[in-house]
Amino acid sequence: MIKISKFGGSSVADSRQFQKVKAIVESDPDRKYIVVSAPGRLSSESSKITDLLYLLDAHRQYHVDASVLTKMIADRYGEIKNALQIDYPVEEELEAFFSKYKKMSQAEIVSRGEYFCARLMAAYLGYDFIDAKDVICFNHDKTVDFEKTSEALRRQMIGHPRFVFPGFYGADENGRIILFPRGGGDISGAVLARCMEADIYENWTDVSGFLTADPRIVKDPKPITNITYSELRELSYMGAGVLNEETVFPVRDSDIPIHILNTNRPQDPGTVIRERIEEKGPPVTGIAGKRGFTSIFIYKHNMSGEIGYIRKVLSVFEKYGVSIEHIPTGIDSFNLVVNEQDVEEDLYAILNEIRQQYEPDEIRTESGLAMVSTVGRSMSNTPGVSGRLFSALGDNDINIKMIAQNSDEINITICVEDKDFKKTIQIIYDTFIREENA
């Protein structure tokens, strides 16, 4: 089995976290290809090494003495090396780096965070080190050249059956270091997984995967063990996200599952994300919601007979750069649901323009709305789910202002008043998840 195991910043923050990583790696002989981030935050008072390196670069640009900063960085790596007696001269290597960083690019300086971490981890695990700059090959537009990257990886892997690889950076064809966007260690792992045609991409972090609802709203929500990318997209859009789209594209395209796991609780099952899941799951995979919406109601006599009316009204929003979240329509009326923040400044100008140009018979707004999405791949073709949802909310006096369900039937989104937001999520949770598991 080809497994890529990526450990994020919190998993490699200090010597104790390094020990946990070692125990995880040693517990499975398939964990041969390891990707690491730079050491992350230890507590709310401490800093991410990557942030310190960005600061170091700012000191370089403004010619400010950086000795306090270089000591902070050296202390973090020194702690790991000394506590674990790792046979890698990190102090000397850092010394050499600090003596020449003023001549380096920002990307090169910042990339040293993962570089030194991977060096230490490789020595600690007894694995080889493969440098990302010799493998991940960027095009001019900063996209990854997968063909060249796969080829380089094949070459580098000869004689290195087990390796540690620094995340977050690669190089262009001239050997200049290029960074992925912040948090991009996840992308490096996904690129490797794709190039190696991995069976699974393990992403070790500090949470045990996704939860079925926000724990600030629902007490002890059940974890999600399996989810499809489409379900995740729906839930993330509504505010439940931890994984960004960019991270998943290299593995999603190749149909490689991602397994989100917790370094601090390796016994937890975590969440597996994949393109398709054949077996039928529970009707609801997860619930998520967002607050702060405004609805604009527009009534135009005989609108149904006037082709293009909705498009014309929408063009006003487009002109003001406002994105539309939902458009529930009636026969001669429709609602446009938008993010309150997006129309904060221009709402009256937009309404005026619609009034003057398109002469609706009625136009009114309502703010203080919230949207709640109930998401589940198994909802499609299962009669009765929306029936249960609406009767549970009705029984609890929740007034539903709007309803949206797409024909792929994996998401029912409802709009409620803000005061009902939390209660709505709790009721849906109790109806579909707590009761199913009781």
**Interface with ligand ASP by CB under 6 A: which residues?**
8-9, 37-38, 48, 50, 113, 167-168, 182-186
Which contiguous run of DSSP H or E holds residue 150?
helix 146-157
Task: Output the CA angle 413-291-285, nearest 5 degrees.
Answer: 40
Instruction: State the burial class of residue 215 (Cβ atoms within 10 Å of its Cβ: 0-12, 13-18, 19+).
Output: exposed
Smallest gap from residue 144 Cβ to ligand ASP (A): 15
| Two structure tokens written together for 298 | 């527009």
Task: Output the CA angle 400-405-411, nearest 5 degrees.
Answer: 100
Q: What is the β-pairing status of strands 33-36 and 3-7? A: parallel
Q: Kindly tell me the number of DSSP H helices and DSSP E strands found in the chain.
A: 14, 16
Task: Output the CA angle 13-15-19, nearest 5 degrees.
Answer: 105
Residue, CB closest to ligand ASP = 185
Q: 242 or 392, CB closer to ligand ASP?
A: 242
Q: Kindly list the distances between the CA atom of residue 212 and the CA atoms of 218, 238, 376, 384, 405, in Å, as whole numbers in the listed order.
A: 9, 13, 10, 20, 19
Q: 144 or 379, CB closer to ligand ASP?
A: 144
Q: 9 or 286, CB closer to ligand ASP?
A: 9
| Two structure tokens written together for 436 | 């199913």
| Two structure tokens written together for 130 | 């493969």
Smallest gap from residue 226 Cβ to ligand ASP (A): 25
Q: Kindly list the distances between the CA atom of residue 71 and the CA atoms of 46, 94, 113, 219, 367, in Å, as whole numbers in the listed order.
A: 14, 10, 14, 43, 52
In a 3-state reduction of DSSP, which class is residue 165?
strand
Which contiguous run of DSSP H or E holds residue 128?
strand 128-129
User: Could you identify the residue written with the tokens 């001019």?
Assistant: 140
Phi, psi of 359 (to 5 degrees): 40, 60
- DSSP-assigned letters across all residues of 350-409: HHHHHHHHH--SEEEEEEEEEEEEEE-GGGTT-TTHHHHHHHHHHHTTPPEEEEEE-TT-
User: Could you identify the residue written with the tokens 């790792």?
Assistant: 86
Q: Look at residues 70, 85, 68 and name the one whose alpha carbon lies nearest to residue 15.
A: 85
Q: Look at residues 232, 124, 104 and name the one whose alpha carbon lies nearest to residue 179.
A: 104
